[in-house]
Amino acid sequence: MIQSIDSDKIKIIETVWDESLRKGGRVLAEETNKALAQIASDSDWAFYIQGDEVVHEKYLPVIQEAMQTYLSETKVEGLLFNYLHFYGSYQYVADSRHWYRKEIRIIRNHRNITSYQDAQGFRKKDGKKLKVKQIDAFVYHYGWVKNPIIQQKKVETFNALWHDEESLKKIIVPANAFDYSQVDSLALFEGEHPQVIKERIQKMNWDFQFDVTQKKYTLRYLIAYWIEKLTGWRIGEYKNYKLLK
């Protein structure tokens, strides 16, 4: 698919994945680091985006301005994006604490910055978190919006990047199609999708409906959910970064 795009801006790197790095999805970080190593030394920033992520065109001016603004502020090692995780269909977003709300997607082009764990984010080679600035832009994550039959196959294949064969037998529940209804909480998406994804939305060939008033939480998580909704504070939130004021 990428090869069909006629652009001199695209450079495809052929690699061999190391299947011995399956534990914890480490192979994903290893492949990301191979791409990082190919970035020209005269590039100031590296913009990382995964295959199931899309940046809405309306955020491009904001992103460009932030890269220019913080270029001379060397203490800023990365830029932090907000996230929307679409689930089941293009009209729902996951809103429980199981989904990360923010992650680094632009980093300084420094050789001491490396992909971290399963390539969700970045850290320095010594394990220290990056110092980042929050920007007013979202990444739209569509990794959980597929025909249920295809999604089931993806779950089975993707888990193989984290676990060995014996562990997979315990984790994967055999099924013909993925059951989206087991999700704990969803909210309606009331915005507009990026232009590049609209053709895909038109081709959607399955139906998924969910009652967004339904919250499958224990009392503890229900209290935490409403505290977050009312105050914006997510209790015990994992943050793979140091936010600069």
- Kindly give the confidence (pLDDT) of every residue in the chain, 245 residues in length, as a single tens digit, with 9 standing for 90 and above: 778 888 888 889 999 999 888 888 899 999 999 999 999 999 999 999 999 999 999 999 999 999 999 999 999 999 999 999 999 999 999 999 999 999 999 999 999 999 999 999 999 999 999 999 999 999 999 999 999 999 999 998 888 888 877 788 778 888 999 999 999 999 999 999 999 999 999 999 999 999 999 999 999 999 999 999 999 999 999 999 999 98
Helix (H, G, I), strand (E, B), or coil: what is residue 13? coil
The one-character DSSP state at 123 is E
pTM: 0.93
pLDDT at 159: 86
pLDDT at 83: 98
Count of other CB atoms within 10 angstroms of residue 130:
23
pLDDT at 6: 84
- CA–CA gap between residue 106 and residue 63 (Å, rounded): 9
Give CA 2 to chain center in angstroms. Answer: 20
CB-facing half-sphere around the CA of 42: CA atoms within 13 A: 0
119 φ/ψ sector (left φ>0, alpha ψ -120 to 50, else beta):
left
